Amino acid sequence: MRRLLIGAVTAAAVVLAGCSGHSGSGDDNAKDASASPAAGAAAKPADFGTLKNVCGPGTAKSSEVQGVTDKSVRLGVLSDIGFTKNSEFPDAAKVFTAWCNAAGGINGRKLAPVTRDTRLMQVREQVLAACKSDFALVGGGAGLDGLGVADRLKCLLPDFPAQSTQAVGSDLQVLATGAGVGYFPYAGYYSWLLREKYPDSARKVGMIVGDSPVSKTFGAQYEEGIGGLGGKVSYSDLYPVAGVSDWTPYAQAIKNKGVKGLVFLGDLASLAKLEQALTNLGYAPDWIDANSNAYGPAFVQLAGPALAKQHNYAELSATAPLESASANPATQQVVDLFKKYAPDAAVTYPVLRAFSAWLLFAVSARDCATLTRKCVYDNAVKQTEWTGGGLQAPTDLSRNDIPPKCYSIVETTADGWKAADFGADQGPYRCDAPTYKYRGDYGKPLTLKAVGKSMSDVT
């Protein structure tokens, strides 16, 4: 899950390829979303997947809580859209809130999302803006989200992100996929690669990481996690985030070292060029962990003919693959809602993660007799088998240090991505992941206590 934002971090000197257009930011977003239901239509409660009555009408009372009136709830959506030109999180916010508001909102209050454009480096400024007017942050993410955690905690702002990198497990944050603080989150995935699918690759793993502090920290965690599962990183290198003019030297080094499994932590455009260079040299590792950054049509188009030779995989944090939407009602519902409310926008893996976050917020807020930050947060962490209505495998959100047990894996073909044959035992998921707890010191999540606050201050 965290790797989705590595692309933005490691490409700090490059504008990444986007999916759809800029969807705006600021107060206009809030006004548009609150007016989304069809005029004159009687609102009826709406279900999502297995979740019943997620949104619906009601008689909300006036409130003195920041961001809450008798008619609306104002919610911030963090996004690096001004840098990446990628509108996935604003798109998900637009579609979810349009659907929810058409059903009557949350007990009669319309959801009013405001895109907080962090532009990669302006995280703190946008969090401070949210602190002044928003009820909570929902369904977003920023590559350098750690820059805003202290300010978010000081103003007691809850966070229900779609994705997180540096801020994972911080107080007042609830990740719909679970935080798993202190544990290697891809133990199931790498156990399958190294122990089952390609056991001969276990001691010949290579790693290429974008040369940025955040990415290098992730690289260290991966190397430790792979080692803890019986593998060994026998070759590692960094690449400059400003770009590489010729990937042939990297490809030649991979070939010379006899790398049989390659982990790539960086942007998908660079990975595509590396795979083309490997193909030109006539070399293909047994597997390449393209990771969820590359999960989508953009990578398939960029890699082109190289996909006929290179074997790419990605792990989706126990989320049902988009390619199986027809067999998974919740995923298909997201696809259908996008066709209705944002037909020109792409449904992507980050969109699915954002929808799960929005659903978590919605049902947590729905169950509050009086809508307060404390009530919404407390309700969210009561979820011990959260599935987002069927978008993901059951996840315990009651603590931030529970290691994941389920995982899902996709692979590329010359025709695109598809679900891999990895021994799924619970629908599209496999739920026997081993547990690996980090021994290295990679820092600890920021707490309310660290900024002079406590849960008793949250109201």
Q: What is the residue extent of each domain of the chain?
A: 2-42+49-181+325-401, 187-316+405-419
Q: Which sign, positive or negative, has the C-alpha torsion 391, 397, 401, 402?
A: negative
Asked if 2-42+49-181+325-401 and 187-316+405-419 have one fold, the answer is yes
Q: Which CATH architecture has domain 2-42+49-181+325-401?
A: 3-Layer(aba) Sandwich (3.40)
What is the secondary structure of 387-401 as a DSSP string?
-TTTTB--B--S-S-
Q: Which CATH superfamily is domain 187-316+405-419 in?
A: Response regulator (3.40.50.2300)
Cα–Cα distance measured from residue 130 to residue 112, given in angstroms and rounded to the nearest whole number: 13
Question: Which residue shows structure tokens 């532009």?
Answer: 119
How far apart CA 117 and CA 16 sit, in angstroms, is 16
User: Cβ neighbours of residue 4 under 8 Å, at least 6 residues apart?
Assistant: 141, 163, 292, 293, 349, 350, 353
Q: What is the pLDDT of residue 10?
A: 54
Q: Contact at 8 Å (CB) between 229 and 436?
A: yes
Short-list 166, 171, 167, CA closest to 156: 171
Tell me which residue of 186, 146, 182 sits closest to 165, measured CA to CA. 146
Q: What is the pLDDT of residue 39?
A: 37
Per-residue pLDDT of the chain (459 residues; tens, 9 = 90+): 445 555 555 544 333 222 233 233 444 444 444 444 443 356 789 999 999 999 999 998 889 999 999 999 999 999 999 999 999 999 999 999 999 999 999 999 999 999 999 999 999 999 999 999 999 999 999 999 999 999 999 999 999 999 999 999 999 999 999 999 999 999 999 999 999 999 999 999 999 999 998 899 999 999 999 999 999 999 999 999 888 999 999 999 999 999 999 999 999 999 999 999 999 999 999 999 999 999 999 999 999 999 999 999 999 999 999 999 999 999 999 999 999 999 999 999 999 999 999 999 999 999 999 999 999 999 999 999 999 999 999 999 999 999 999 999 999 998 899 999 999 999 999 999 999 999 999 999 999 999 999 999 999
The secondary structure of 221-275, three-state, reads HHHHHHHHCCCCEEEEEEECCCCCCCCHHHHHHHHHCCCCEEEEECCHHHHHHHH
Task: Report the alpha-carbon distance of residue 439 to residue 96 in Å, rounded.
Answer: 40
- Alpha carbons within 13 angstroms on the beta-carbon side of residue 218 total 31
Residues 176 and 159 sit within 8 Å (Cβ to Cβ)? no
CA distance 131 to 152: 7
| pLDDT for 44 | 87
What DSSP state is assigned to residue 76?
E
pLDDT at residue 14, rounded to an integer? 37
What is the structure's pLDDT at 29? 43
- pLDDT the model gives residue 6: 53
Task: Name the pairing type of β-strands 51-55 and 46-48.
Answer: antiparallel
* Host H or E run for residue 183: none
CA separation for the pair 259, 178 (Å, rounded): 33
